[in-house]
Structure 1
């Protein structure tokens, strides 16, 4: 099987192991059921510099392949490559056909420099061209409705668990023009959902600016602003869908 598939299985298995206890508790506190975690293939990257690297090497994966997939940090200034993701909850990112091409990782340590981190850009993965949950949401749209773009992985997953499988998210950056094109390919009037805080409002204005030049009768955009300080994940938990 392919390297990203092997990495996904490794992270899934670590989530269920003893060292995944903290990650399991976090996901449970966020209200995600084991079935949902399984469905999105969530995992845990252990707090180790080389757990994944050694696991893949033991399975015969060449060093060059591990590097090409963006799973380790390597370079002229790094004498020994080490795992890109450490002590993070792992969100596999599938492409439009459902094949894993990258990961997002959420830090468990409160003092981590970056709360969320993506795989580096690779031949397979250009983050401005990918929407999280695209393949699954497109399938859900066959039953009707429109696509909802939310801000993060957790929002997408919470909505799916509440029965809304038609949500997608950009990967930790503002929505790009390519991602907007993807949304329009899915539905003529996507709903862009933003957190109700200052940053959310700013992001909404930026998205409106970007969308305006391309808007036509069959390509429109709707905006949904959430109550201040709430994201979709909070709302679903507090009020139900």
Structure 2
């Protein structure tokens, strides 16, 4: 399982993903699920992956190959003129990989599904964020839906819905995301550290600031313990329940 989030802010884009994959409790591994392609001064593109590992790795490999040799750059995410067209290319590549599994005799197509979060900016346009489905279609983030989650989303969603604000600073957003990921990790053992983070400044057209939080990271531990203490304290301050009989004396 995976948990990954892509978020739009006034300041730019924020991405975070875990790195755990498992095929049973006795087969747990760490794999990168965050990928970035940058042409300094012209574009920066980030992709988060969730789902079948063979599918996501094949999709990334195809996208990567098309960015290298000039004769293989059609289609390439480094040549697409807009982020919308990049999203189309990525969605088509993902769908092609899944269909190839079917053509090769692997009948359980759903087992090879994957979902992606794509975000970035190309010179001449603003930063954009997309959620790409295995069927090859996608939706774009907007004011009403300013962030996307993929993988194990339900445990970390409530804090994002309650606390997100487009005017948040990067440090505030990182704190929010770490609480969301900590809640997910505590509820589902198939999600785990290290956690990868990328911060992209609007109109920078650079790769952005990338960091990794290990399980024993001091700041991550502080957030985890502090959030637990804060929840207990908030619960204690809420009014006590009294039955209707007690209320009526």
Q: Same fold (TM over 0.5)?
A: no
Q: Which has the higher contact order (CA 8 A, sep 6+)?
A: 2
The structure whose Rg is larger is 2
Q: Taking structure 2 as the reference length, what is the TM-score of the superposition? A: 0.25
Select the structure that is richer in strand.
Answer: 2
